Amino acid sequence: GQQLNQSPQSMFIQEGEDVSMNCTSSSIFNTWLWYKQDPGEGPVLLIALYKAGELTSNGRLTAQFGITRKDSFLNISASIPSDVGIYFCAGQRRNTPLVFGKGTRLSVIA
């Protein structure tokens, strides 16, 4: 099946630092989505990307749809303690279900 390689698996950063994580695939996707999951909750959609090269921001979060359509990255600027959680990338091809990465576990040290 389709695989998404998400990295890094985990990160420990100081409050105020910027964070970068990415997702790559051997397959082309039409849509890239980024989710955040807090403990005991379901994943919450952060950003959706629909066009190759698209750069979209949501507050301190910025995500890009790679020009090759095989990758995407998520940046978080000036991290704060509530950014702690697991971040998932997900790719989707037309009329197929989302494929999820394994997640990046982010820890923020105050």
Q: 23 with 80: CB under 8 angstroms? A: no
* CB closer to other proteins out of 32 and 79: 32
Q: 93 with 28: CB under 8 angstroms? A: yes
* CB closer to other proteins out of 11 and 77: 11
**Least Cβ distance, residue 20 to other proteins (angstroms):** 21
Q: What CA–CA distance (Å, rounded) separates 101 from 107?
A: 18
Q: 64 with 73: CB under 8 angstroms? A: yes
**Least Cβ distance, residue 63 to other proteins (angstroms):** 13
* CB atoms near residue 30 (< 10 Å): 16
* CB closer to other proteins out of 70 and 77: 70
Binding site for other proteins (CB under 8 A): 30-31, 33, 35, 40-45, 48, 50, 88, 90, 92-98, 100-103
